[in-house]
Amino acid sequence: MNFEMFYKVKVFFLRHKQIVFRGLLVAIAMPLLVLPSRIERPEFETSYNLVGSEIAIFLAGLGMWTVSVLLLAKKSKSRIVRIMICVVVCMGLSTLIYELSPFEDYPIYALKSREWTYRVTRMMLRGLFMAGFVIPAYYYFENRDRRKKALLDIERLKQENLAIQLTALRQQINPHFLFNALNVLKSGAQEPWVKNYVIKLSDIYRYILTHQNNRNLVGVSTELEFIEAYNFVLQERFGEALVIETDLAYEVEDKQIPILALQVLVENAVKHNIVSVKKPLRIQIYNDEDYITVRNNLQPRKRGWEQTESLGTGLLNLQDRYELLSQMGISVSEDANYFTVKIPMIYDKCVVA
């Protein structure tokens, strides 16, 4: 049991060591700030009281840092409300620690002999001043982390763009050659379905070429047109074994999503589920408030080389693209019957260059 507790503490420290280190730094700074004023007034101090009360101030600072991390990191309330709540809790914490401490830890004059209302008032004021040190320290570290993450994301996006360009160069064929070849094939085709198949295949390739370099976001309506062409090609392969249903409200068509986001989700469903006439795969695409939901009935294939090589890669890539483009994330859920992915629609055209 002791070993298990030690292991949990170790895991927690390794996971949050940066926050713990910063909390210790802030907590150590507080008693050091008041130490000179206490040393200058020896009539109120003994070595025992000085050391003990400095420890009490350190514990108060550590507690206030913990409160700040727990309260200020939440995004459910506005920042002003969170700060106000944090200040009130810090004031109460300062008073509680002082009342429970046997030490006289106020650096100017003794308070233990005063009435409790006076003591509480002074200790709450001290908590207010300490919160005025802890809360700005928290936001300083948070803003620094955010700037560092933004720089890393920009650098990462640059590296990914370079990798994409290199891959495109390696796999590139002349688009005009391909389109000319498809036109020849369409002209020579006798059956109407072959001509339609070639046209839709041309639309797919043209869409990818048009958007792969100059844009990161596209309108929902534009992506839906592409999905219709993509669905036509899939239908020729799977027939009645695959059903793709779209039900998106008219007002969402002007919203934006990352390029090929819906294609990734449709491809992911087809790749990892059984698609047969006996067990048809049904993919539903519909809007739910500010999200587009893509849901399919769950009938997973047996794990083979294809799943081993690519399972989850498309979803991870889509999640990374959302974080880089809008700092939003996708939602993935699974139950006994359905696999569901929700992707947020983006209102602002926040393309990262």
In the chain the domains, ranked by start, together with CATH numbers, are 2-150 (no CATH), 167-344 (3.30.565)
State residue 103's pLDDT score: 76
State residue 178's pLDDT score: 62
Residue with the bigger pLDDT between 151 and 176: it is 151
State residue 306's pLDDT score: 47
Say yes or no to pLDDT of 9 above 50: yes
**Exposed / middle / buried, residue 307 (Cβ in 10 Å: 0-12, 13-18, 19+):** middle
Say yes or no to pLDDT of 271 above 80: yes
Q: Which helix (H) or strand (E) holds 331?
A: strand 331-334
State residue 35's pLDDT score: 81
State residue 340's pLDDT score: 94
Say yes or no to pLDDT of 171 above 70: no
pLDDT band for 341, please (50, 70, 90 cuts). Answer: very high
Indicate the SS3 state at residue 77: coil
Q: Which residue type, as a one-letter code, is found at position 137?
A: A
Residue holding tokens 């005063």? 114
| Strand ranges of the sheet holding 291-297, from the earlier edge strand across to the other edge | 242-247, 281-288, 291-297, 338-344, 331-334
Beta bridge partners of 291: 288, 344
pLDDT tens digits along 275-299: 999 999 999 999 888 899 999 999 9
Q: Say which DSSP state 273 is in.
A: B
Most confidently predicted of 145-154, 177-186, 196-205: 145-154
DSSP string spanning 278-346?
SS-EEEEEEEETTEEEEEEE--BPP--HHHHHHTTHHHHHHHHHHHHHHS---EEEE-SSEEEEEEE-B
**Pairwise CA distance, residues 252 & 189, whole Å:** 38
Indicate the SS3 state at residue 297: strand
Indicate the SS3 state at residue 295: strand
Phi, psi of 56 (to 5 degrees): -60, -40
State residue 352's pLDDT score: 42
Q: Say which DSSP state 296 is in.
A: E
Question: Is the CB of residue 207 less than 8 Å from the CB of residue 229?
Answer: yes
